[in-house]
């Protein structure tokens, strides 16, 4: 089973690193963007299979990014999962009503994150199911690398 190409729009370096590690450990390829505008640009250029979109960004917020993606007739919008630190009641409903395909709240759960994201992907792109070994990310030595052929 092959992995997906996932665009991750997230401005906090630690979160970007952690989520990237978890997805790459499951066989996915992550395309990073640290602003909403860059995310829009890369969505058009890279045609990712899924977008993980932080709601709180330094320029335009995740809702604006999503609205502009959907308004762009040249882009076939893939599933978009909102990731937000807003912990208020109703955020999930707000996000889903805005057209997000999923909603995860921060701090993310490292054990279930890749599985939660994989659930929004077609079966052929879910990567491998093995949970990543939790520990210090080691470049080039992530668990499951042997399955990424």
| In the complex, least distance from residue 106 CB atom to Mn ion, rounded to whole angstroms | 8
The least distance separating Mn ion from the CB of residue 96, rounded to whole angstroms, comes to 19
11 binds Mn ion (CB under 5 A): yes
DSSP string spanning 115-139?
HHHHTTS-GGGS---PPPPPS---T
Most distant CA atoms of the chain, gap in Å: 43
Binding mask 32-71 for Mn ion (x = CB under 5 A): ----------------------x-x---------------
The distance in angstroms from the start CA to the end CA of the chain is 10
Structure tokens at 97: 């009503």
Minimum separation from the CB atom of position 92 to Mn ion (A): 17
CB of 94 to Mn ion, least distance (A): 16
Part in contact with Mn ion (CB under 5 A); list of ranges 3-11, 17-25, 70-78, 118-126: 3-11
Q: How many residues bind Mn ion (CB under 5 A)?
A: 3
Distance of CA 37 to the CA centre of its chain: 16
Among candidates 18, 82, 72, 21, which has minimal Cα distance to 51?
82
Binding site for Mn ion (CB under 5 A): 11, 54, 56
């Amino acid at each position: 089973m092959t992995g997906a190409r996932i665009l991750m729009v997230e401005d906090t370096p630690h979160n970007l690193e952690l989520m990237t590690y978890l997805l790459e450990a499951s066989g996915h390829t992550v395309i990073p963007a640290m602003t909403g505008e860059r995310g829009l640009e890369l969505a058009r250029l890279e045609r990712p299979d899924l977008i993980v979109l932080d709601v709180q960004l330094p320029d335009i917020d995740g809702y604006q990014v999503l609205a502009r993606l959907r308004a762009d007739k040249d882009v076939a919008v893939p599933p978009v999962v909102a990731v937000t630190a807003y912990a208020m009641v109703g955020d999930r409903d707000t996000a889903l009503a805005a057209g997000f395909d999923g909603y995860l709240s921060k701090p993310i759960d490292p054990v279930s994150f890749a599985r939660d994201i994989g659930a929004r992907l077609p079966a052929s792109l879910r990567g491998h199911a093995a949970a990543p070994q939790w520990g210090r990310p080691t470049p080039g030595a992530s668990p499951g690398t042997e399955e990424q052929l």
